[in-house]
A = this chain, B = another copy of it.
Amino acid sequence: MKRFTSVHDIGDLKQAVAEALEIKRDRFQYTGLGRNRTLLMIFFNSSLRTRLSTEKAALNLGMNVMVLDVNQGAWKLETERGVVMDGDKAEHLLEAIPVMGCYCDVIGVRSFARLSDKAVDYEERILEQFIRHSGRPVFSMEAATRHPLQSFADLITIEEHKRVARPKVVLTWAPHPNALPQAVPNSFAEWMNAADYDLVITHPVGYELDPRFVGNARVEYDQRKAFAGADFIYAKNWSAYADPHYGEVLSRDRAWTVDREKMALTNDAFFMHCLPVRRNMIVTDEVIESPRSLVIPEAANREIAAQVVLKRLLEAL
Contact = CB atoms under 8 A, between A and B. Distances in A.
Interface of A: 28, 31, 36, 38, 40, 46, 48-49, 52-53, 55-56, 59-60, 64, 66, 68, 72-75, 78, 81-87, 90-92, 94-96, 98-100, 102-104, 177, 252, 254, 275-281, 285, 288-289, 295-296, 299-300, 302-303
A102 B48 contact: no
Question: How many copies of this protein are present in the complex?
Answer: 3
A277 B94 CA distance: 10
Nearest to A135: B296
A90 to B, nearest CB: 5
Contact of A285 (B40, B81, B303): B81
A84 B280 contact: yes
A99 B59 contact: no
Contact of A300 (B53, B78, B102, B279): B102
A103 B40 CA distance: 18
Contact of A52 (B40, B55, B73, B302): B40
Given A277-B91, A285-B82, A56 B66 contact: yes
- Report, nearest first, the 8 A-B pairs whose CB atoms are least far apart: A91-B276, A85-B278, A102-B300, A84-B280, A52-B103, A86-B177, A99-B299, A56-B103
